[in-house]
Amino acid sequence: MDKFQTKGLIILVVIILGAEVFVTIAWGVLLEEAGKVFQIFLLVSFEVAAHNDNAPVGDAANTTTVFPETDI
């Protein structure tokens, strides 16, 4: 092995290790951001579902129905 092959091998190893670290960090950031978006989506959908005068979802005990008069 001559000195050019040794330098090329060292450069290749450094590039591979750097790429591995970069990909690991990039995946961590990407998954963290995706997790935040998913969490916000879930919180907003639960808030919209439960935003009926602070009543629990599915609580219909205090509702009344008024039907219009019809001639049969």
pLDDT, one tens digit per residue, over 6-49 is 888 999 999 988 888 888 888 888 788 888 877 777 776 666 55
- What DSSP designation does 66 have? -
pLDDT of residue 51: 53
Q: What is the largest CA-CA distance in the chain?
A: 103
The Cα-based distances of 61 to 51, 53, 57 in angstroms read 16, 13, 11
* Residue type for position 9: L
Distance between CA atoms of residues 49 and 41, nearest Å: 12
Who has greater pLDDT, 3 or 61?
Answer: 3
Please report the pLDDT score of residue 70 as a whole number: 73
